[in-house]
Amino acid sequence: MNLLLAPNPLLFWLSAAIALPILLLAIRHAPWRQVLMSQSRQHALFATILALALLWLLQVSVRDTLAIHPLLMTVTAMVFGWSLATIIGALALVALEIYQEPLHAISLDWDVAIAQFDLRTLPVDFCLSIVVPVSWAWCVLWLVDRWKFKNPFTYFWGVGFFGAMLSCIWLGLAAMLLFAITGSEVQLATAQEHFIVFVLMTFPEGFVNGLIATVMTVLYPDMVKTYRDDWYLKD
């Protein structure tokens, strides 16, 4: 989900106060040494940033206030872990803004293009579209790791499918809570009136995340940071 209207000062500063420490924490604890030592992981990281930004262009505008789009942050967290997934999501949001500029500048009206380039929405988008689904995926992974029922499907579908489905609901609830706290009446009214959209997103979001998680774990298990072969396949 992305804001299409500039946030009020309280919404901006509260979101920035939440986003900045989380982003710094992710940068501090990211496994940079492992990434630098593996060229395949570097390629996967940069490809994921670009792919997410392109995918997020497939967004549906709701009353010119909110833009709803697929997230795919659950499978990103499964493959890269919490820290890198958070950083990837932040960079994908910036790439999304860069992608959108040529669309506004096709008419060569650069004044209009620059006016559309509003970075004030980034902290809000980061908190809702990145922090909420990635943190929820990490909570589900923590629960599944401690579940005594040892089966790969608890990882593929428990986290990738059902975890991603519920992330859409949490996203909608978190958005309404944040808008209510900051007095963002227009955004709050839109989120409340169209909350059914978040519900309708659950199945496609779960299916795509579960499918990608399954394919990645089966074909490239070494690339999936959170998959524990010795745990899920233990007799």
Range of the domain at 92: 2-232
Q: Are 75 and 225 in contact (CB under 8 A)?
A: no
CATH number assigned to the domain comprising residue 178: 1.10.1760.20
C-alpha distances in Å from residue 174, one per residue of 124, 181, 214, 231: 11, 11, 28, 33
Q: What is the pLDDT of residue 115?
A: 41
The amino acid sitting at 158 is G
Q: What is the pLDDT of residue 151?
A: 74
Q: What is the pLDDT of residue 6?
A: 84
Cα-atom radius of gyration of the chain, to the nearest Å?
A: 18
| Binned average pLDDT, 10 residues per bin, the chain of 235 residues | 87 95 95 88 92 89 85 93 95 87 50 53 94 94 78 81 93 95 92 91 93 87 75 57
- The C-alpha torsion from 220 through 47 and 202 to 19, rounded to 10°, is 120
Q: What is the pLDDT of residue 234?
A: 59
Domain count, the chain: 1
Q: What is the pLDDT of residue 107?
A: 44
